């Protein structure tokens, strides 16, 4: 394999020096040279394989085209076999082997797997589940991030790692922990977690009276007399539902606690001079951890993805279960990338996994396609989980890049090799001066989210038919079908550079946010708001106004009622002569004079009333789509109207046939079950693939 090119044009180098600042504010090395675009690497667990195979395995990884290797993730018992006795020599040997084979190294902190001596000496480092049961040694993520004792031991091992490898030029970056979470157990209810939650509440409210006010404890006589009386809201402690305001604060605290645990580790690495970049591998968007809370601490934002694990993805046809969801995959890239511009996939499945209810084989070609989707979405790295298929242990059935013999590339391994060849080919054609095509740039959209909305809605759904992420995906798929580049962003972002902002199901708002949205539209932006927006204040209270009155001026309509349908009943909406079914949520709107109705309810007692409206506001527009349809087709049709009216000439691709532009290259990835034609000009130069993209296929071209 050709050596990694470190050459970069002077102008690009200067731009990088000017733009890249260390998370702590100092200038940093150029960890991800723009001209390399994306690196591909792999997980390796040397501690689980015979020492006499290490050199062979490293040499083979390199032969397969891997550019970096990821190690040390769950290896605490090997790094500190006895309390205070550290052994990094085995790791050091593997770092040396990686370097000899031209591969960079990502090292990990092992905080996801405390060793048995620690759990036996200090059982209080183990988390407690909702039933009150303390977890035990013998799995992972059983450590309690709130335990001061656990934090002390984590600090010690991270310090030793930092001292040993923090200045090691062979080490490229660090991953903290692993998929920070407690998996199915979700939260720790330990005394340590309770104590830290109380501290956080004291800090937030100061006075118990303020907490009582914000938590609405006058309801059902919940009033607290002091902070020591507060427990973590736990469904199992209550005959009915726990207090939703307490739950929302607990979600906020838990996410902050996770970020704090990461910060503890980041600070130690930096304190001992770690010159490398630092990330953690977030678990897609479903976790309880909010990456934005670590925006200032980490240098790169990476995540883990297993697209095929038994979900059916019927929206993508009969092959959906073998292809995964293009929308979810793409959305996560679009969420991670804008945080600080450096993002990637830390884990990607190389074949069948072991942990789904049913673990099918991915569609041949799909693994290659996922890697190229990451490329198209701006990822700077893709790392596959894992090199070797384990011969023992919980993940025995999990494929690797090589077969169970440890040497033969698996079908997935061959797809990685293929993808690496593609990346090298594109790297050779990289042009730093390539400009984003104007028509594509014009459709750039900010997709505004706030985890508070998702938490509060999911804690208090009002209809079991509602699915917050599913609702987001209807809009996201509509955007990608229009070939809009999307940045998923949060409220502190300056929106003025975006022609369009979509803020779906934005339940919790305040005056400042409504004012920000209003100014955005008045200055020429096009804002799309959707069902359930503006109903509550930031505490999760309904303001003492008419229903959702906070946004009436903004949307140019009143919203006197919303409706929900039980069972599998469907209501209907018409727009431009087409009829659409809904079942989960219907905001019934009354447009003001000057506001246009875009869709109308066709049945129920409010037949003839508006389901979606739009109006001009200053130089821009505000559209409110109040109904959540069954398959999102109405949402797509209305979004197309908004983009067309704004002169953004939307493309008309099938949902989940996703096309994006990156660094001069157009990349089409087909997550649907039928072949799709690329939207290329007749003279376009096809660099890989074909004009017709098969399911699970990729085409790259330049125009
Ligand atoms: C991930 C996890 C990895 C590994 C993998 C198996 O969620 O981070 O450590 O367990 O699943 O697919």
Element at 260 (helix H, strand E): helix 244-271
Using pLDDT thresholds of 50, 70 and 90, give the confidence band for residue 92: very high
The residue whose CA is least distant from atom 4 of ligand 1 is: 385
The answer, yes or no, to whether residue 344 has pLDDT greater than 60, is yes
The answer, yes or no, to whether residue 14 has pLDDT greater than 90, is no
Place of tokens 């038994």: 310
Pairing of strands 620-625, 610-617: antiparallel
What is the distance between the alpha carbons of residues 405 and 419, in angstroms, rounded to a whole number?
Answer: 23
The answer, yes or no, to whether residue 2 has pLDDT greater than 60, is no
Place of tokens 């195979």: 53
CA of 179 to the centre of ligand 1 (A): 8
* Closest ligand 1 atom to 74 CA: 9
Using pLDDT thresholds of 50, 70 and 90, give the confidence band for residue 432: very high
Answer yes or no: is the C-beta of 304 below 6 A from any ligand 1 atom. yes
What lies within 8 Å, CB to CB, of 640 at 6+ separation is 478, 482, 650, 652
The answer, yes or no, to whether residue 518 has pLDDT greater than 50, is yes
Residue-level pLDDT at 27: 56
Domains of the chain in start order, with CATH, are 444-645 (3.40.50.880), 657-702 (2.60.40.1180)
The residue whose CA is least distant from atom 1 of ligand 1 is: 304
CA dihedral 381, 376, 429, 368 (to 10 degrees): 70
Taking Cα atoms as reference points, which of 661, 665, 668 lies closest to residue 685? 665
Residue-level pLDDT at 393: 96
The answer, yes or no, to whether residue 274 has pLDDT greater than 90, is no
The answer, yes or no, to whether residue 416 has pLDDT greater than 80, is yes
Answer yes or no: is the C-beta of 179 below 6 A from any ligand 1 atom. yes
* Closest ligand 1 atom to 112 CA: 9
For the question of residue 179 being annotated catalytic, the response is yes
CA of 169 to the centre of ligand 1 (A): 28
What is the distance between the alpha carbons of residues 689 and 378, in angstroms, rounded to a whole number?
Answer: 20
Taking Cα atoms as reference points, which of 106, 351, 434, 141 lies closest to residue 261? 141
What lies within 8 Å, CB to CB, of 86 at 6+ separation is 79, 80, 157, 160, 164
Taking Cα atoms as reference points, which of 170, 118, 184 lies closest to residue 147? 118
Taking Cα atoms as reference points, which of 370, 422, 373, 419 lies closest to residue 687? 422
Answer yes or no: is the C-beta of 531 below 6 A from any ligand 1 atom. no
The answer, yes or no, to whether residue 224 has pLDDT greater than 70, is yes
8-state DSSP, 274: -
What is the distance between the alpha carbons of residues 646 and 625, in angstroms, rounded to a whole number?
Answer: 17
What is the distance between the alpha carbons of residues 438 and 207, in angstroms, rounded to a whole number?
Answer: 54
pLDDT tens, residue by residue, 152-162: 999 999 999 99
The answer, yes or no, to whether residue 664 has pLDDT greater than 60, is yes
The active-site residue, picked from 179, 315, 535, 635, is 179
CA of 530 to the centre of ligand 1 (A): 35
- Report whether 543 contacts 636 (CB < 8 A): no
The answer, yes or no, to whether residue 286 has pLDDT greater than 90, is no
Using pLDDT thresholds of 50, 70 and 90, give the confidence band for residue 609: very high
Weakest mean pLDDT among 280-294, 479-493, 627-641: 280-294
The active-site residue, picked from 80, 347, 535, 635, is 347
| Average pLDDT score over the chain | 95
- Report whether 135 contacts 190 (CB < 8 A): no
| φ and ψ at residue 676, rounded to 5 degrees | -135, 145
pLDDT tens, residue by residue, 548-587: 999 999 999 999 999 999 999 999 999 999 999 999 999 9
| Range 489-496 average pLDDT | 97
What is the distance between the alpha carbons of residues 108 and 128, in angstroms, rounded to a whole number?
Answer: 25
Answer yes or no: is the C-beta of 76 below 6 A from any ligand 1 atom. no
| φ and ψ at residue 530, rounded to 5 degrees | -135, 175
Alpha carbon distances (Å) from 500 to 505, 647, 658, 668: 16, 12, 19, 23
Place of tokens 């923090």: 166
pLDDT tens, residue by residue, 245-258: 999 999 999 999 99
Residue-level pLDDT at 398: 98
The answer, yes or no, to whether residue 177 has pLDDT greater than 50, is yes
Task: Tell me the β-bridge partners of 672.
Answer: none
What would the DSSP string read from start to end of 129-152?
Answer: -TTSPBP-SSSSS-B-TT-HHHHH
Using pLDDT thresholds of 50, 70 and 90, give the confidence band for residue 28: low
The neighbour count for residue 674, using CB atoms within 10 Å, is: 14
What would the DSSP string read from start to end of 283-311?
Answer: ETTTSS--GGGGTTT-S-EEEEE---SS-
Using pLDDT thresholds of 50, 70 and 90, give the confidence band for residue 19: very low
The answer, yes or no, to whether residue 9 has pLDDT greater than 60, is no
Weakest mean pLDDT among 153-167, 262-276, 611-625: 262-276
Residue-level pLDDT at 240: 86
CA of 175 to the centre of ligand 1 (A): 14
* Closest ligand 1 atom to 306 CA: 12
What is the distance between the alpha carbons of residues 574 and 565, in angstroms, rounded to a whole number?
Answer: 18
Using pLDDT thresholds of 50, 70 and 90, give the confidence band for residue 275: confident
How much of the chain exceeds pLDDT 70, in percent?
Answer: 96
């Amino acid at each position: 394999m050709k050596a990694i090119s470190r050459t970069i044009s002077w102008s690009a180098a200067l731009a990088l020096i000017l733009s890249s600042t260390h998370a702590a504010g100092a200038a940093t090395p150029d960890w991800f040279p723009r001209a390399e675009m994306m690196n591909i690497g792999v997980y390796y667990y040397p501690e689980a394989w015979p020492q006499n195979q290490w050199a062979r395995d490293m040499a083979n990884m390199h032969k397969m085209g891997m550019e970096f290797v990821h190690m040390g993730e769950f290896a605490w018992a090997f790094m500190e076999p006895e309390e205070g006795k550290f052994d990094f020599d085995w790791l050091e040997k593997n770092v040396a082997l990686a370097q000899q084979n031209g591969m960079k190294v990502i090292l990990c902190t092992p905080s996801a797997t405390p060793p048995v001596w620690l759990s036996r000496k200090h059982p209080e480092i183990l988390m407690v589940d909702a039933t009150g049961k303390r977890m035990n040694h013998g799995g992972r993520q059983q450590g309690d991030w709130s335990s001061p004792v656990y934090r002390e031991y984590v600090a010690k091992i991270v310090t030793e790692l930092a001292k040993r490898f923090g200045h090691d030029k062979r080490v490229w970056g660090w991953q903290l922990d692993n998929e920070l979470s407690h998996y199915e157990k979700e939260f720790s209810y330990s005394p340590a977690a309770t104590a830290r939650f109380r501290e956080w509440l004291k800090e937030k409210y100061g006075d118990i009276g303020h907490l009582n006010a914000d938590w609405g404890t006058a309801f059902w006589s919940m009033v607290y007399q002091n902070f020591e009386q507060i427990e973590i809201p736990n469904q199992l402690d209550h005959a009915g539902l726990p207090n939703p305001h307490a739950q929302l604060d607990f979600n906020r605290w838990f996410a902050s606690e996770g970020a704090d645990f990461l910060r503890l580790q980041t600070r130690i690495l930096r304190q001992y001079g770690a010159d490398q970049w630092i990330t953690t591998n977030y678990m897609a968007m479903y976790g309880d951890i909010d990456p934005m809370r670590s925006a200032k601490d980490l240098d790169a934002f990476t995540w883990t993805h297993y697209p095929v694990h038994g979900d059916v993805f019927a929206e993508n046809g009969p092959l959906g279960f073998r292809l995964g969801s293009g929308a979810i995959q793409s959305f996560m890239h679009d969420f991670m990338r804008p945080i600080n511009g450096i993002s990637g996939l830390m884990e990607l499945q190389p074949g069948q996994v072991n942990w789904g209810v049913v673990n099918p084989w991915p569609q041949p070609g799909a693994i290659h396609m996922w890697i190229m989707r990451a490329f198209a979405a701006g990822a700077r790295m893709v790392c596959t989980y894992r090199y070797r298929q384990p011969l023992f242990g919980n993940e025995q059935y999990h494929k690797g890049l090589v077969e169970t013999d440890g040497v033969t590339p698996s079908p997935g391994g061959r797809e990685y090799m293929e993808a690496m060849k593609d990346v090298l080919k594109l790297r050779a054609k990289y042009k730093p001066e390539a400009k984003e095509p104007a028509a594509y740039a014009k459709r750039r959209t900010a997709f505004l989210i706030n985890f508070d909305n998702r938490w509060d809605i999911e804690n208090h759904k009002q209809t079991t038919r509602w699915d917050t992420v599913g609702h987001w995906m209807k809009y996201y798929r509509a955007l990608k079908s229009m070939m809009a580049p999307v940045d998923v962003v949060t409220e502190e972002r300056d929106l003025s550079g975006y022609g369009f902002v979509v803020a779906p199901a934005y339940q919790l708002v305040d005056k400042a946010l409504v004012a920000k949205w209003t100014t955005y539209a008045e200055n020429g932006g096009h804002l799309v708001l959707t069902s359930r927006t503006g109903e509550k204040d930031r505490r999760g209270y309904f303001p003492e106004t008419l229903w959702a009155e906070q946004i009436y001026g903004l949307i140019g309509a009143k919203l006197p009622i919303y409706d929900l349908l039980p069972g599998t009943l469907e209501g209907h909406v018409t727009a431009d002569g087409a009829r659409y079914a809904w079942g989960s949520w219907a905001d019934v709107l009354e447009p003001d004079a000057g506001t246009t109705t875009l869709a109308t309810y066709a049945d129920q007692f409010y037949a003839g009333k508006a389901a979606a409206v739009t109006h001009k506001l200053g130089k821009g527009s505000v559209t409110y789509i109040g109904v959540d349809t069954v398959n999102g087709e109405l949402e797509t049709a209305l979004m197309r109207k908004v983009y067309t009216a704004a002169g953004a000439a939307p493309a008309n691709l099938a949902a989940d046939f996703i096309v994006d532009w990156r660094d001069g290259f157009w990349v089409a990835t087909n997550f649907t079950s039928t072949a799709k034609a690329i939207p290329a000009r007749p003279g376009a130069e096809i660099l890989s693939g074909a004009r017709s993209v098969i399911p699970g296929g990729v085409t790259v071209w330049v125009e």
